[in-house]
């Protein structure tokens, strides 16, 4: 799969924390950031799927309630 280069801006503090976590995990900074983004997207997709199912059954709860119950 082709890759795309991009840049992001973050505080020096956050960058330092990300670098430390990547090193601790034994992966490159790039691999660590890509994995985080993929996990976040998956979490959001799961949330949207859950909300769709709830709406289909005419039940609705807030995101906060969902996170408390299933996180």
The domain spans of the chain are: 12-70
Q: How far apart are CA 49 and CA 41, in angstroms?
A: 12
pTM beyond 0.75: the answer is no
Nearest to 46 by CA among 26, 63, 28: 63
Tell me the C-alpha distance between 33 and 56, whole Å: 35
59-66: long-range contacts (C-beta < 8 A, 24 or more apart)?
A: none
Q: What is the pLDDT of residues 10-42, one digit of tens each?
A: 999 999 999 999 999 999 999 999 999 999 999
Q: Which residue has the tokens 């993929």?
A: 38
pLDDT of residue 55: 78
- Which range is least confidently modeled, 22-26, 58-62, 66-70? 58-62
């Amino acid at each position: 799969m082709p890759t795309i280069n991009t840049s992001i801006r973050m505080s020096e503090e956050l960058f330092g924390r990300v670098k430390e976590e990547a090193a601790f995990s034994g992966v490159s900074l790039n691999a660590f950031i890509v994995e985080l983004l993929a996990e976040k997207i998956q979490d959001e997709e799961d949330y949207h799927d859950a909300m769709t199912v709830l709406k289909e059954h005419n039940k609705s709860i807030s995101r906060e309630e969902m996170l408390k119950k299933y996180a």
